[in-house]
Amino acid sequence: MVSKVVFGRGSFNQLSEILAPKRLSMNAPFIYIIDDVFKNNQWLTSRIPLAYDDKILFISTEEEPKTSQVDAIVEDIILTTKELPSGIIGIGGGSVLDLAKAVSIMLTNEGEAKDYQGWDLVKHPAIYHVGIPTISGTGAEVSRTTVLIGPEKKLGINSDFTPFDQVILDSELTKDVPKNQWFYTGMDCYIHCIESLKGTYLNTFSETYGNMSLELCKEIFLDNNLTAEESEEKLMMASWHGGMSIAYSQVGVAHAMSYALAYVLGVKHGIGNCIVFDHLEEFYPEGVKLFKAMKEKHNIMLPQGICADLSDADFDKMTTIALNLVPLWENALGKNWKQIITPKKLKELYQKM
C-alpha cells in the first residue's frame, strides 16, 4: 500500500515541505518526471521546488510507457547525477505515474525493466518515489503495479516495492483534462469496479472498495447535480478506491482484450477499454448497459472498425497475448475459462470492434 497520502485542493503546494526531509545530500537530486502537456504551464511548473542538481524530465505520453524508455531514463539519470537520486516524483496520468514507479525500481535493481515484468520479481527496494496524478481513473497512483509495453508483452512490474511512498491528491491539477480523455480514463475506473465486483476473485476487501468507487462513478457520470470541483474530487477518490479494489482482486475480460489492442495497434488504455467494453454485454450485462448510458449522456463517439484491416497473423498475435493473461480470465470466468473463451470466440469479438 501507499504509505503516505495528502488529499485536498491546493495540496500540491505542500510538495516542498514533503520533500525537504527526504533529501539525502546535495549530490542526490530529486528527479521530476512530468507529462509534457505541462511544459509551458507556469501555474504548475512554477510551484516545483528545484534546488541543487534537481531536474525535470518532460515526457511525451503520445505512446504508452515502454520498458526500453524506462531503461533509457535510468541510464540517463545514472550518467548525469553524482549520486543516486533522493527521489523520483511523477506528475501526470497513468503513463507518467507508471514511468516514475518503474524508474525508481530500476535505479536499484540490476538488468533491464523487461526482466521484471511479472509478479514479485523485484529484489531491492526502489528509490523513494512520489506520485501526483493530474488525471483520474487508472488507479496507478495507488496500485502495486507499473504497466509497461515490453519487447514481448504489455505487462506490469507487480511488486511490494512498486507502490508510491507518498501520493499527493490535488484535484485542482485535473481541471484542464480534455473532455474525451476525462471520459476514457474515468471509464477505466468504472471498468475496474465492474471487473472486480463481477469477478470470481472477489473478496470483502475488494468488494467494499469496489462498491464505494462504483457509487462515485454513477454520481459523477450520470447525475447532474455536481459542481466541477465536486466532480473532480469525487473522481480522484473513485480512482483511488477502484485501484484498491483491483489491488486485492483482478481485472477481467475488457483489460485482457484491451492490453492486446494496445500491444498490436498501440490503442491507449482508457479508450481501448471503452472500445472493448462496449461489446461485452455477454460477460457484464448490467455494467455494459450503464456504460452505454454514460457514453450517451456525455456524447462520446467511440472509434469503429479499428480491427477491420488486420491480417490473420495480427488476430493470432492479439488473441495469444490476451489469452496469456491467465489470472484476468480466471477472475472473469472462473477456473474453466478456457471452455468459455476460445481463440476463435475472441477473434470474433475483436472483429466487431
What are the residues binding ligand NAD (CB under 6 A)? 35, 37, 61, 64-65, 92-96, 98, 134-135, 137-140, 143, 145-147, 173-174, 176-177, 181, 185, 188, 269-270
Determine the Cα–Cα distance for residues 252 and 212; give it in Å rounded to an integer: 19
Nearer of residues 67 and 86 to ligand NAD, judged by Cβ: 67
Q: Which of residues 47-66 bind Zn ion (CB under 5 A)?
A: none
Residue 70 beta carbon to ligand NAD: minimum distance, rounded to whole angstroms: 12
Place of cell 447525475: 223
Nearer of residues 81 and 198 to ligand NAD, judged by Cβ: 198
Nearer of residues 35 and 195 to ligand NAD, judged by Cβ: 35
Handedness of CA 220, 223, 224, 225 (dihedral sign): negative
Binds 165: which of ligand NAD, Zn ion, none (CB < 5-8 Å by kind)? none
Nearer of residues 30 and 329 to Zn ion, judged by Cβ: 329
Parallel/antiparallel/unpaired status of strands 87-92 and 55-59: unpaired
Determine the Cα–Cα distance for residues 50 and 34; give it in Å rounded to an integer: 13
Determine the Cα–Cα distance for residues 149 and 117; give it in Å rounded to an integer: 9
Give residues with Cβ within 8 angstroms of 311, minimum separation 6.
none
Residue 14 beta carbon to Zn ion: minimum distance, rounded to whole angstroms: 28
Binds 131: which of Zn ion, ligand NAD, none (CB < 5-8 Å by kind)? none
Residue 28 beta carbon to ligand NAD: minimum distance, rounded to whole angstroms: 26
In the sheet that 118-119 helps form, which strands lie side by side, from edge to edge? 118-119, 154-158, 147-149
Candidate list 98, 188, 195, 330; residue touching Zn ion; CB under 5 A: 188
Nearer of residues 154 and 295 to Zn ion, judged by Cβ: 154
Nearer of residues 17 and 62 to ligand NAD, judged by Cβ: 62
Q: CB–CB of 208/244 below 8 Å?
A: no
Q: Which of 70, 97, 99, 63 is nearest to 267 (CA)?
A: 63
Q: CB–CB of 197/331 below 8 Å?
A: no
Residue 20 beta carbon to Zn ion: minimum distance, rounded to whole angstroms: 34
The span of 37-45, 112-120, 187-195, 320-328 binding Zn ion (CB under 5 A) equals 187-195
